[in-house]
Structure 1
Amino acid sequence: MSRRLVTLATCTLSQWALDFEGNRDRIVESIRIAKEKGATLRTGPELEITGYGCLDHFLEMDVYTHSLEMLHSILSNEATHDILLDIGLPIMFKGLRLNCRVLSLNGRIILIRPKMWLAQDGNYREMRYFTPWQTDEIDDYRLPELFHKLQGAETCPIGNAIVSTKDSSIGLETCQELFEPLAPHNLLTLNGAEIITNSSGSHHSLRKLDVRLGLLQQATKVCGGIYLYSNQQGCDGDRLYYDGSSMILCNGQILGQGTQFSLNDIEVIVSTVDLEEVRAYRSTPSRGLQAISAPRIKYIHVDFNLSTTGDDLDLDVMPTPSRPLRIHSPEEEIALSPACWMWSFLRRSKQAGFLLPLSGGLDSASTATLVYSMCRIVMSALEEGNEQVIADVRRIAGPYHGDQWLPKDARELCGSLLSTVYLGMAKQSSSETRSRAQRLADSIGSRHLSMDIDNVFLAQKELLTQATGFEANFKVHGGTQAENLSLQNIQARSRMVTSYYFAQMLPTVQQRRGGGSLLVLASGNVDECLRGYLTKYDCSSADLNPIGSISKTDLKRFLAYAQTEFSLPILEEFLEATPTAELEPLTEDYAQSDEADMGMTYVELSEFGRLRKEYKLGPFGMWQRLVHEWRDKCTPRETAAKVKHFFHCYAINRHKMTTMTPALHMEDYSPDDNRYDLRPFVYPSFYGSWSYKKIDEAVEKMEKKREESLAAQAKKAGN
């Protein structure tokens, strides 16, 4: 058996929705790098010409026109020739909008392959924009006139086919199709495809990567062959962070894996594989029997060699050895994903930095620490000589220091990018939270201000008295619950208004020459959003919320990690402190507590969230599950009370989610109403509802059965 070595490239690109020329230039540069590394096939992310996150812009004809113009620009560039290209873009065909891949060589389109199974759950609504290709027929696509000279024809094939080179064969699979029970790669490989390419637009969520990579490994373990997986990376204009991790696998072994979190705009992963190893791996009788009886897929032939043979082997070109899978811990994922997302957003929004209301509590401390993590990542990119990051740092932070300035460490960079402000109340805010906020700001280097907003609060409070003669009071001063809440909300909303005022004016106060304002950061976690434990239009209202889809439990794990990893011992104090909103006056025998106010613990909230969203359970179904899982800590009636209280709070506060700050998607039980969790925001009362009556009926049956059992045991013991 003579060796037949093939060098293949898959790309991770930081694309941006509707940035047609920028996206094109990154594609062309990735092709140049792939050729420089000796690759004969290059694949890129899904919809890479437009960026994946165009959303309803995919309904606009301009997007399809400009996509083809960019494709023509790429294919007519001779620097992209002499390599087989796999490029993603949307295409109109017979009035249908299709999510497509174009396989081309030397400016000529070999095949347009539309996506067959569309992502249609969670964050994805591809069928809102595209039609799935549900036919085995190969049709003719009439090319626009500007392609005719390049193509040497007016049409090209469109459909699901295998592209056959002189020495191998290539099948195409797109993102969601990998996750389907009858994934296309099964039939493609049974029809002889030795290489499968997968262009993807897959977002990051906690603890997800191992699932995706497990499917990739399983595909090549079962079917044999080479798999090229390409994914977008970064924020392309929405709530998702695409987490790269482009890979090359062969026969179940990982040969190349790209970064999951980085600031690189372009990353090209290259591996060299022996095609004969694929053929040897597949040479089993059972596979042969399945292949011979499998439905046929049409072949399209191209006059091109991907590989080198034993007659012209280069000693410097060797098969790539397998490598272990690299997966980050959840704490590392939290440290990296929001940080990279924030940097993408900051540099593309062309604003001057961030402003964070730093309360001295765990949530705002987590957000501040994430900005510091972002600065650490930026510093690593600067040390590596990343030219794009150097240019971005000088553009954003340079006006403080001079056009050629670069920071010496993450703390100095944080001082140029982050302003923090403690907005206290003399009678509500403790000296401990004020001190913790100041010392954390000192530790990470942010520009910190500390002030009280009593005058703003009192002026707002006095308006009602002036208009009606009624004076509202906190409950500790004899006020009603309605009075107590309204006074808390004045403080919370005053902080939001003050934060935006400071965000717009601090660059002027600090004599920045570059212009722009600061992006205001929110710091409400996913559990408080789910429960509705926040004031509408308070500091939960901001420009971005890096932790809006992270649980309190995970944030504690992250801070414990960052305490050591980032050398921030001050974080221990945030972990030990009792979570509190500090919106009510402190007395000798009363201090506000979040968990007491909510009527449930953060651990319980996370459990309720997962069962509601991921397991799709309503009140009765959730009680049925928890009555078993919590049997050692709660009676059926106690469990019923907790479930009822959760759904009641969820229903009456659901309207708040319609106005929530855009949050990075990290957790699959996120209640984000604007993109992810599509549920009503005006509910009928759950108390007295049929589902609650069913719970009560089941509890009574359980209690009656328990009483009868105890009576029978007592009677038996008496005898």
Structure 2
Amino acid sequence: MTDPNDFFNPYRHHFVRAAVAVPEVRVADPEFNAHQTITLMRRAAEEKAALVVFPELGLSAYSCEDLFHQQALLTGCREALAQVLQETAQLPLLAAVGLPLQVDGLLYNCAALLHRGRVLGVVPKTYLPNYREFYERRQFTPGEYTTREAIELGGQTVPFGPRLLFQAEDEPLLTVHLELCEDLWVPVPPSSYAALAGATVLANLSASNVTLGKDDYRRQLVANQSGRCLAAYLYSACGPGESTTDLAWDGHALIYENGTRLAESERFADQAQLVVADLDLERLAQDRLRQGTFADAVRAHREAVAAFRTVRFRLEAPARGFLPLKRPLERFPYVPADPQRRDERCREVYAIQVQGLVTRLKATGFDKVVIGVSGGLDSTQALLVCARAMDVLKLPRAHILAYSLPGFATSPRTRSQAQRLMAALGCKAHELDIRPAAERMLQAIGHPHREDKPVFDVTFENVQAGERTSHLFRLANLHGALVVGTSDLSELALGWCTYGVGDHMAHYHVNASVPKTLIQYLVRWAAATGQFGAQASQVLTEILETEISPELVPGTHDGQPGQRTEAIVGPYELTDFFLYYVLRFGYAPAKVAYLAWCAWHTKTSGAWPDIPEPQRHQYTIAEIKHWLGVFLKRFFGLSQYKRSALPNAPKVGSGGSLSPRGDWRAPSDAAATAWLARLAEIPDQEARCTQAAVDPPAATRQE
């Protein structure tokens, strides 16, 4: 990359911008419809889209009925196609348009894919509805009836048939398949076989009149098909101008990617519309790579897959210079931005954690748990789970044997928070000072630490951590209880835990697949909704406002901690972002950094709605690059041996876990060299563009 601005272009990171158009039409007026199509094509090109999809029979209008048997209309549609095709010679995009075509004396409802003055191929509709308000078999012939592989169109010999794929030579992850309306509504859509044959972008040129509730059903169809096929799905429906003799039209345009909606049009708009979103082709490729049953399906349907023909072309996408990313992008990928979904997520996370602990207690026959409570976030969340588990088991919360274990650096604040939280939850609270035992250990091993000459090294820190763990396990032996672990997914990813001690080892973990940002919100939600009473909510709020620190090295006289975790391993809001895209999708460092910059370069792009403005952060690309380097070193080069010895814990989210028995199986002796080498691809300076240009579109904001 000679121009650093190229880094800030989504096309450089295997995104492809797609548009779905809903033009205004006039029934049986191809010349007008061609003009409207050209206008929206130009808009799509201005938006730097690589592909734009128009509705079914858009050059004629869908609702022509028996006018489709009039030669004047059919000839007009061919002439309109020639107009549109001529315009594409000057536009750097693919355009999928719909028109009726007469081939060998039969009439087909077709989708034509145009590119740079060339008709790449024509796909006839496979399934023609002939029920309720539809009478397409009256005018058209199913695509499967054709015996042709090519037709003459506009002076070109053009591939023809229902099984065509269109692959970009300069972006091999982009393979497009076209189907039309009813093709999606059948039990096995043609696009299912196309996806197995390699299509990553499935486009549907639809008419789809509107009836009550049909919009929700369309969303379900498109979401499910994109999810099953591990593909993007673009859907365009007819809008203003279609005949309302017997039907109505809402102009419903949708863009989905692997089950997730990226963009949607306004329904019943009285003017033409264009919806645009960036498709992450690498995400689709990674999902297909991981989901082994996708390959099994390819093999099971190999005859259908082999029937597809591939047409190749050069996309020549605008991969130079800055271009804002157009897709929803959350700063906190583990925490939904939508308040209703967040509440549902919180309830479900608690349910999973509680069920895991309840099941383990029943299986082992224990009716008590032992837990160390520090007054920090992780032990707080684990203690809340223990309280809920006792409620489910109909046991008194006194069966939670909770211990505050103050050491050399425990602050009065966290000590007080631990004590008050245990009291508010009604568990059996204890305080056990580990300092005498730790001092004896330091003396026994010949450590040079003395009160008048302190030595705050890793041994000094881990003696305290080890003493806490030793006490908890022996207390569990004494009382016939199970030790509940507290460490979270983020700490395990970074190796920010001491091997074999309480933040690493336990009889059962409850937080091991819950990242720190989600822990924060779970505690925030419990406090805000009064899940454990007003007294507990007050303490939980104070805990959320406490600096994250292991408290193993004494702090300052004014009560500030001697260690600030995020100053060492990085801000958890960033490291969780890195973790999600590395663990879930396996992205290279440059793409992870690019997405982080898109999400975090302003204060307002994607912040939680209930985080006060002064606490909303922003990061430069240089800061992101620095902390990503720290993350890569710790995740790939330093920490796997700790993760390989993790105790049991329930998997909570689809974002992944680090269990050596589940989502993540990696060698402990691997090096981070390959990932660190890719850091050089990340520039140190920001994109050279106006603030208005870098601010995300409204669809990406989470406020």
TM range (shorter): 0.3 to 0.5
Normalised by the length of structure 2, the TM-score is 0.44
Instruction: Calculate the TM-score normalised by the size of structure 1.
Output: 0.44
